Structure 1
Amino acid sequence: MSLVYVTNKKNGTTYVYESTNYWDKEKKQSRSKRVCIGKLDEAGNLVPSKRLAMPPALTPAKQGPVPSTVMKRSFYGATYLFDKIGELLGVTADLKACFPESYKQILSIAYFLILEDRNTMLRFPKWDRTHSHPYGSCIPSQRSSDLFASVTEEAKNRFFSLQAKRRTENEYWAYDTTSVSSYSESLKQVKYGINKDHDPLAQINLALLFGEESGLPFYYRNLAGNISDVKTVKHLLADLGNLGFSKVKLVMDRGFYSKENIDALYQNHLKFLMATKVSLKYVQEELNKVRDNIRTRANYNASYQLYSHTATIDWEYSQKRPYKGDVIEGKRRMYLHLYFSGEKALEHENRFNALLDRLEAELVSGNRKMEHEKQYAKYFEITSTPKRGTKVTPKQKAITQAEKDYGFFALISNEIKDPIAALDLYRNKDIVEKAFGNLKERLNLRRTAVSSESSLEGKLFVQFIALIYLSYIKKQMSEKELYKNYTMQELLDELDIIEAFENPGSALRVGEVTKKQSQLYNTLGVVPPTTL
């Protein structure tokens, strides 16, 4: 026996039928018998047929949990896991506080995005019929668009603030951006820029903030596609100030480096760790002091198989004061961490030699390329005669100068003194890159096709909610070494097959839970569901 939903095309009403399969002996084939048991109201709830409704006086009273109003058999195990994660992280409570009218729909769509890997909202009605979820009713594609459009900037920022307060106060927050390609020609923020996926389409950019200790995201902002990373830092600081955060610690890659940004971080009294270019003047000055003696046993780290050195330097700080028309200047203490990796040096050298081979082949063959003219002149002496043709001689001095920094890289911080501690923290920043991978692959955000600004804002927010759950599961699986036996999809599939049974007037009844499934719940930090 199952439920069948049929929509009347004339009046748009969706009727619900109870379908029972049976064997027709005469026709020797399987047949089905349908009985209409009611219709769905505007909220998607079942309104029973009058002939089936019981008189109020005869309706039995039940003690305990809220009884069901429909008869349904559904998959429950994975959505139960999400329910408990939401309680543990405060996501459900914070969403309810910020979106009291729609938080259940937001959660249900987030659950759907996680379990229906890469599928569009057109598949939600089918998923709804087979799964238990917070909203408990169908959310058609049009209604999901209305939901996305209802997400306001005020409510979204309030959610960010509530979630961030639940994070570890002293942890560093990793910050990074990615590009999201778009087919839309009507969105104002869709612009051509540096696409990090090498996609030829126009794009929007997405900035994300992650707690390095918690492994959870709690802030994002979408930007115009032509905005570079370095221009986003001051707006990030302003947003964090508006959210009420004064003591912030940030980890960023060298794409965010500029003197103006470092000055802003000092001005706002924020702690930071950032990668920077080795070619900068003050980095070269310190590097030249240790270039020949950094590779000693005392400076070697076996875990990373590299050498490190830290220098305390003075940062030339300046702050413009428009209201007074002057500039404050001074020195601020900074730690410059220098590293040398033999593996990186070899990698850079091989790549450089491959480039020189390609340039020399182009010169000798006469197939010169305009974009390589500066490199031809920089690395080769070129002579041509009618008899001997083109002769190419390497400029060894220029080549040696280009190779001198191979294998070296640098980090700067105004708090972390130890070079290996700084490197540990910086390497953990890849959680943001992996989060972007989850957004684009599992949550169907590689290319966005929404056509309105409001729909884009709401869809990004619901995908962000789904990312919180994915990030929690990923962190637990990594720490408890579950990836040795499961992919994330395999783990979710293992739990998803647990069923729940709903009957009118009765509390939810959970089906059988195996020992393996109970162990998975416990390992993920969740109490297994109670069965009969």
Structure 2
Amino acid sequence: IMAKGMSSFISDLILENKGTFENKRSCDMNAYGVYGKTVQKTLFEGDEKKRYIHIYHSISKDADERESFENALRERITLLMSHQNETVEFGSAYEKYFYLHYDKDGVFLYSEEKTTVTEREISLCGYFVIITSERMTAKEALHLYKGRDVSEKLFASDKSFFGNKSMRSHTNEGVEGRIFTQFIALIIRNKIYTALQEENEKLEKKQNYMTVPAAIRELEKIEMTRQTDNIYRLDHAVTAKQKVILKAFGLDANSIKYFASELSKELKKSE
């Protein structure tokens, strides 16, 4: 499971480990742009099994979350000032960050920022946590979570990817079959994504064609054509880009030549 840094049950653990890994190169998660470390601890009292809690910090996430929080804080301060000397009540979102002072008649006078609360939340910006029951490194946990996250987002948006906006089916069995097929397709898609990501990390320079859509477009260029002797052969040699992509799946140019040869034999038999 994933928890954001400001979640109350995990924030104390983050603050305990704050400053112990954010600048250490050994804690760099490489392609993900974050730093992380793993600690082992029980989540709650009575939990007999210790969990592996992977703590991460992102510089870009830190900046975005801090800017968003401070903008929201300024907006609240402006609103509070605009209601001075009025009979008005504010919700818990204001009471969390401000001491609100009223006179005996319930007229709002002024506010004081709870600096210990706001400073604590600012110090938690950019942090998030992944919790696992199985032993693994922070990098392995993040890699697994990113892969799952991609599948969930894809399945949530399958209306556009697989035409799920309109099922075009008159029976429940047809709808269930289509959704099941789409889910299997997402599993395969995620496997392709994982293989490409792992191979891309090994390269000296990250390549923009190592994404699923780009890789599929590149591999679709591998074609067979029937030549003058009525035998199907590869239209052209496997390119350098295609070789890099194929390597992610444990294949190479010779594999393509072999598959093409076998397919050519089958096509000849069918004639």
TM-score range, shorter chain: 0.5 to 0.7
> Could you tell me how far 1:467 is from its partner in structure 2?
4.1
> Could you tell me how far 1:424 is from its partner in structure 2?
3.6
> Could you tell me how far 1:474 is from its partner in structure 2?
5.4
Residue equivalent to 1:184: none
| Letter in structure 1 aligned against 2:95 | A
Q: Distance in 1 between matches of 2:189 and 2:4?
A: 34
The verdict on how the C-alpha distance between 1:443 and 1:409 changes in structure 2, with shifts beyond 3 A counting, is same
- Kindly indicate which of the two structures has a greater share of residues assigned to strand: 1
Residue equivalent to 1:188: none
Q: Is the 8 A contact 1:363 1:390 kept in 2?
A: no
- Say which of 496, 499, 515 aligns to 2:236: 515
Matched, 1:313 2:34: no
Q: Name the SS of the counterpart of 2:68 in structure 1.
A: helix
Q: Is the 8 A contact 2:29 2:36 kept in 1?
A: no
| Letter in structure 2 aligned against 1:400 | E
- Say which of 380, 395, 411 aligns to 2:130: 411
> Could you tell me how far 1:384 is from its partner in structure 2?
9.1
Q: Distance in 1 between matches of 2:4 and 2:44?
A: 17
Q: Name the SS of the counterpart of 1:463 in structure 2.
A: helix
Q: Distance in 2 between matches of 1:467 and 1:288?
A: 38
Greater relative contact order: 1 or 2 (C-alpha under 8 angstroms, separation 6 or more)? 1
Q: Could you give the per-residue CA deviations for residues 96-134 of structure 1, whole angstroms, max 9, x where no partner exists? A: xxxxxxxxxxxxxxxxxxxxxxxxxxxxxxxxxxxxxxx
Q: Could you give the per-residue CA deviations for residues 377-399 of structure 1, whole angstroms, max 9, x where no partner exists? A: 333456799xxx98665333332
- Say which of 33, 43, 50 aligns to 1:333: 50
> Could you tell me how far 1:514 is from its partner in structure 2?
0.6
Q: Distance in 2 between matches of 1:484 and 1:298?
A: 25
- Say which of 53, 66, 89 aligns to 1:349: 66
The verdict on how the C-alpha distance between 1:438 and 1:414 changes in structure 2, with shifts beyond 3 A counting, is same
- Say which of 193, 209, 223 aligns to 1:483: 209
> Could you tell me how far 1:294 is from its partner in structure 2?
5.1
Matched, 1:360 2:77: yes
Q: Is the 8 A contact 1:311 1:336 kept in 2?
A: yes
Structure 2: gaps of 5 or more residues: 201-206
Q: Name the SS of the counterpart of 1:483 in structure 2.
A: coil
> Could you tell me how far 1:422 is from its partner in structure 2?
3.1
The verdict on how the C-alpha distance between 1:459 and 1:496 changes in structure 2, with shifts beyond 3 A counting, is farther
Q: Please tell me whether Structure 1 or Structure 2 has the larger radius of gyration of its CA atoms.
A: 1
- Say which of 367, 374, 379 aligns to 2:97: 379
- State TM-score, norm by structure 1: 0.34
Residue equivalent to 1:47: none
- Say which of 255, 276, 287 aligns to 2:3: 276
Q: Is the 8 A contact 2:155 2:186 kept in 1?
A: no
Q: Distance in 1 between matches of 2:191 and 2:48?
A: 41
List, as ranges, runs of 4+ consecutive aligned residues in structure 1 with deviation greater than 6 Å: none
Q: Is the 8 A contact 1:382 1:393 kept in 2?
A: yes
Q: Distance in 2 between matches of 1:472 and 1:428?
A: 8
Percentage of pairs with the same residue: 19
- State TM-score, norm by structure 2: 0.60
The verdict on how the C-alpha distance between 1:475 and 1:415 changes in structure 2, with shifts beyond 3 A counting, is closer
| Letter in structure 2 aligned against 1:357 | R
CA RMSD of aligned residues (A): 4.7
Q: Name the SS of the counterpart of 1:515 in structure 2.
A: coil
> Could you tell me how far 1:341 is from its partner in structure 2?
3.5
Q: Is the 8 A contact 2:55 2:129 kept in 1?
A: yes
Structure 1: gaps of 5 or more residues: 1-273, 318-328, 500-508
